[in-house]
Chain A
Amino acid sequence: MLNTPFPQDAWYALAWQDEAGRKLSHRKVCGHDIVFYRTQAGKVAALADVCWHRLVPLSKGQLDGDTVVCPYHGLKYEPGGRCVHMPSQDTINPSASVRAFPVEERHRLIWIWPGDPKLADPALIPDMGRLDHPDWAGDGTHIHAQCNFQLVLDNLMDLTHETFVHAGSIGNEAVAEAPFDVSHGDRKATVTRWMIDSIPANFWAAQLPGVPKVDRWQIIHFTAPSTIQIDVGVAPTGTGAPGGDRSQGRNAWVINTITPETDSTCHYFWAFVRNFDTTNQSTTNAHRDGVRHVFRQDEEILAQQQRAMEAYPDKTFYNLNIDAGAMWARRINQQMLDEEDARRQSLRAVG
């Protein structure tokens, strides 16, 4: 099974906001080694982590004011990637520069555009507004997942696996056996699953103590190429949640955005936010730790899956109806890749 290629012309999460500071940090995004830091004015700069001169990683160097100093010969680069100092000469070679990547800070994350910079419109950053909205509270982290990014998308687009991978926390029999709807649109796909009058899995039972049967929902929103936000919750059976009245229930969102690192690894940024008990840090901690435990189970499965793909390069996946959401995500991403390829081919001939 081959690894799925990823679009370059897209915004991807580079880091959580607090990961960038007055120090040099390294992360690889879509095959590009990136060094990133904050300037004295607090703005994030992201440069190719490869010195123009002898290719040494700049992230092993130092920050001097707003400039990055190469650890090998002391060449200095400003936040736009231009060399502003060279050793042993009176002038600076005019071509001396490293690539500077478009970056934006939004929704508690730092976003980077690895592709064609002229297309880097900040309006294309996925709307993850619940991450920084006062009605919603919660926290998350970053997982360095040992699998192709598409495997994480597949995982999140079909939650049938909760019954088996996450039995005891969020999974039970009801998940795997409830029907689901799949729809798609421009750059989007949605999977909706209602578990009407079901026994709540342990995590949800704890959110609604003493309620024996619930209407549980999972509404999975995919935004291409790699953001998946899942509207999840429970309400006591018959209190109107399927019709839109969630007032008796408990609602949370699992916010996920995946950044390809290499063909076979990715950065998985997630948070779990809720609109109840929002000022209680203990709840935030409990939810974050609970989800971290759940996602470790996924991480292990996904790493095994990646190793199996590499062990059996000639075998392909078989797709079941539970994979419909993942299949739409794959098709939409393939359209993005095709469009990207067409753009590269069709740059105008004039002159």
Chain B
Amino acid sequence: MSALLEATIVATDRPCPDVAQIDLLPHGEGIVFEPGGHIDVHLPLEGGVQVRSYSHVAIGPDRSLRIAVKLLPDSRGGSRAMGRLRPGDRITISAARNDFPLSFAAPRHAFLAGGIGITPILAQARALKEAGRDFTLRYCVRDRASAPWIAQMQAEFGAAFALHDDSAQGLLDAPTFVDGLGPETELYLCGPYPMMAAVKSAWAAAGRAPARLRYESFANSGATDSVPFTVRVVETGTEVAVRRDQSLLDALLMAGQPVMYDCRRGECGLCKVEIEEIDGEVDHRDVFLGEQGRKGALCACVSRLRGGTAQIRIDSISHGPSV
């Protein structure tokens, strides 16, 4: 992991009521700004320091980084703490590997952002614009009032920018959107889980090259709103109650249950736990498990039950491709 750096908040704003825009100035050498990249913020939260990742949207002439945080009622505590930051406050950050790099080699680019998923996409679109390259950017919002930077992007990107307002137009139809992209187009996607799942499925159905669909997940939204549920760990007999603002993984760890994990974003599959019995349904929010793998298992870092209870195993987990 990269070294920890102190950073001072230099400005805050609310580009819309439930988004906090934060400019922070890292001390020392600063942080390399790359379109699509993010920083890790180390927050003192319940149960100790927790790491949250935020895409950097822009870098200022003073080398301050701009991030934006959606203020969520279901937050695991991170967005509440971030929303309280004021100029002069200090936080601890670290540089992170760019997990959503932009390729200039692609013959054509399209961007699709949903809600706060605009943060890495905006930085990428600006990089392409600076390079004088063509692209299209579709920005899906629940309604105009709950989305940052609409007017600014209209002015900045002109005809390349198109807004999709769910409240007026309904949810984006993923197959139609994918069909509308030219061949060889590389699509960069970031948004809530259901939207990403619909686009991934439409992409595969259209027979497009998997490597040309680039996406980044942010692990805090599912097909349904988060609700509390409970699990019983078979190996230890421990009952664990999971609050709506807490992940299954965090609840297990806080209850002292030995669970392996790494990415905390539903990507690596190391936190897979297996379901012995379930009274309820699973809201899968990971990008790791395939259709088969989802039968009888879930990624504890992001996926959860839609209420109810389950008996899970946390040891002797079967890994590997489904047969």
Contact = CB atoms under 8 A, between A and B. Distances in A.
Interface string A317-351: 00000000000000000000000000001111111
A88 interface: yes
Interface stretch (A13-21, A74-82, A137-145): A74-82
A94 B61 contact: no
A89 interface: yes
A205 to B, nearest CB: 51
Contacts of B288: 89, 91, 93
Contacts of A347: 33, 58-59
Interface in A23-42: none
Contact of B105 (A89, A102, A346, A350): A102
B48 interface: no
B215 to A, nearest CB: 5
B214 interface: yes
B289 A90 contact: yes
A99 interface: yes
Contact of A118 (B61, B131, B149, B287): B131
Nearest to A83: B211
Contacts of A93: 267-268, 287-288
A97 B105 CA distance: 14
Nearest to B123: A351
B290 A90 contact: yes
Nearest to A118: B131
Interface string A96-119: 010110100000000000000111
Contacts of A89: 269, 288, 319-321
B319 A78 contact: no
A167 interface: no
Contact of B211 (A78, A119, A345, A351): A78
Contacts of B99: 94-95
B216 A94 contact: yes
A169 to B, nearest CB: 45
Contacts of B104: 102, 117-118, 120
24 contacts: A80-B105, A82-B211, A89-B269, A90-B290, A91-B287, A91-B290, A92-B210, A94-B99, A94-B214, A94-B217, A95-B97, A95-B100, A99-B101, A100-B105, A117-B103, A118-B131, A348-B58, A349-B58, A349-B59, A350-B126, A351-B21, A351-B58, A351-B149, A351-B152
Interface of B: 15, 21, 23, 33, 57-64, 66, 68, 97, 99-101, 103-106, 122, 126-128, 130-131, 133, 149, 152, 156, 210-211, 214-217, 267-269, 287-290, 292-293, 319-322
Interface of A: 78, 80-84, 88-95, 97, 99-100, 102, 117-120, 345-351
